[in-house]
Structure formats: C-alpha cells, structure tokens
C-alpha cells in the first residue's frame, strides 16, 4: 500500500525513475480498487458505484501516466515511449515487456538508481519535504 501512496504523493511528477516494484504494486492496487467498485456495484444492484468508479478512474489517470513514464525512465527509455499505448495489441505487449524489464543499475540522465543501497527508506520521505 505504501507504493500506491507514494505514486499518489508524486501525483504529476514525470521526472525521475520508478522501480518495477513501485509500478507493479501501484497497478495491482489500482486493479483491486477497480474490481472492488465493480463487486460493490454488482452486490448493490445499482449503478452508484459505477459513477464513483468513473470519478476514481478520472482522478487516477495523471498519476498512472506519471508512474509509467518514470518506469520507462528507469530502463533508459524516453517517456514518449508511453505513446505506444495507442498501437493496438503490439504496442501494449511491447509496453508490458518494457515495464517488466530490469532498470539500469547505474545512474542515467533521469536520476540515480532507485534500487540503490539505502534507497528503500526513501519511499517514506516522499511528500514530507
């Protein structure tokens, strides 16, 4: 849950790098929240949760794109690679492969390696500055 909150605290931060764990944990929790809204909607037999889910989806678009761009930065790619999402099937598969790729172990032009020694506690410092 801390990884999800970290991404939300960096709401529109498109600079820097994001670890695989940060990206995939955010994605997992995001999917679980979406499923919960669908389950509640089904259980209640109304569409109120569908409306709440739509508002949630709109609110989460910017941090979702931001963490995806930072993830691409971690593997040494430009954030513009995110536009592959508009290529049906082939673009999506390529992005999934890129998101699953190990990040560069050395610093690159977008910053230091987020998996560096001692950087695990850096997650607690986000938003406290």
In this predicted structure, the answer to whether residue 126 has a pLDDT above a threshold of 70 is: no
pTM for the predicted model, two decimal places:
0.82
Integer angstrom CA distances of residue 51 from 46, 55, 60, 62: 10, 6, 14, 19
| The pLDDT of residue 44 | 85
**pLDDT, tens only, 98-108:** 999 998 888 88
Q: Identify the CA nearest to 64 among candidates 111, 8, 103.
A: 8
Look at residue 125 in the predicted model and tell me its pLDDT. 62
What local confidence, expressed as pLDDT, does residue 103 receive?
Answer: 87
Span 17-41, mean pLDDT? 92
């Amino acid at each position: 849950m801390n990884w999800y909150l970290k991404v939300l605290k960096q709401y529109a931060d498109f600079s820097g790098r994001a670890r695989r764990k940060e990206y995939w944990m955010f994605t997992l929790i995001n999917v679980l929240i979406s499923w919960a809204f669908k389950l509640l909607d089904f259980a209640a037999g109304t569409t109120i949760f569908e409306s709440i889910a739509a508002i949630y989806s709109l609110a989460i678009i910017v941090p979702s794109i931001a963490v995806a761009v930072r993830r691409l930065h971690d593997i040494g790619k430009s954030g513009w690679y995110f536009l592959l999402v508009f290529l049906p099937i082939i673009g999506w598969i390529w992005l999934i492969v890129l998101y699953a790729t190990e990040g560069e172990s050395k610093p690159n032009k977008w910053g230091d390696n987020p998996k560096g020694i001692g950087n695990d506690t850096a997650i607690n410092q986000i938003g406290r500055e």
